[in-house]
Amino acid sequence: MSHNILRLPEVKQRTGLSRSSIYLRITNNEFPSSISLGGRSVGWLEKDIDKWIVERIEQSRINDLG
């Protein structure tokens, strides 16, 4: 089984969020947690980021209808 790992620059590009917004949302349990890659390196599973984006789109559509 293959897992694609995204580093912070790509997560920022995909989500449109800043570094501080990402870490604030992680603290508030509103964003997928990073995984340790060793040393001071972290990354995010691509599937977790894709799921988060889809959830934001779905929530936005629900809010637009209400």
How many whole angstroms separate alpha carbon 53 and alpha carbon 12?
12
CA-CA distance, 1 to 19, in Å (whole number)? 29
pTM: 0.90
CATH number for the region 5-65 comes to 1.10.238
Query: What are the tens digits of pLDDT across the range 16-64?
Result: 999 999 999 999 999 999 999 999 999 999 999 999 999 999 998 888 7
Interatomic CA distance for residues 63 and 66, integer angstroms: 5
Give the residue among 36, 47, 38, 56 at the shortest CA–CA distance from 11: 47
Distance (Å, whole) CA 10 – CA 1: 22
Which residue ranges make up each domain of the chain? 5-65
Tokens 């894709």 -> residue? 50
